[in-house]
Amino acid sequence: MINKKILGLVGLAARARQIAFGADNVETEIKKKQVHLILVSKEASQRTKDKFIKLSSEYKIPIIIDGDIDEISKSIGKSNKAIIGIKNINLSAQIEKINNGGDIIG
């Protein structure tokens, strides 16, 4: 189960149009160096996980593998999305901080 604060920040990024979703779209944005954090559902296929782990190490982008497809998709108002790329550097830093055990500023 992914942290509710992380899902809230992902939803905020979605409303601000600062996300890419879907494997192909996220991969394209990574190659354009627009993505600062990759969020992958743990229900995604192993091949997909391996592909994005490789991309994250190649482009030095942090990756979080957590949560199920339904809760990640629901947070951005879509359905059946297993991969999300966060484009906003500040939101991605906050999500990473919360995931690593820190708390949100404010």
- Sequence-distant (6+) residues with CB within 8 A of 81 are 21, 22, 69, 72, 73
The structural domain count of the chain equals 1
Q: Is residue 104 part of a domain?
A: no
Q: Is residue 83 part of a domain?
A: yes
Query: pLDDT, tens digit, for every residue of 44-99?
Result: 999 999 999 999 999 999 999 999 999 999 999 999 999 999 999 999 999 999 99
Q: How many helices and strands, by DSSP H and E, does the chain display?
A: 5, 4
Q: Is residue 106 part of a domain?
A: no
Strands 83-86 and 19-21: antiparallel
Question: Which of the residue ranges 4-8, 18-22, 49-53, 102-106 would you say has the lowest mean pLDDT?
Answer: 102-106
Domain that holds residue 80: 4-99
Burial class of 41 by CB neighbour count within 10 A (0 to 12, 13 to 18, 19+): buried
Q: Is residue 79 part of a domain?
A: yes
Say which CATH number the domain at 87 has. 3.30.1330.30
**Structure confidence at residue 105 (pLDDT):** 57
pTM over 0.95: no
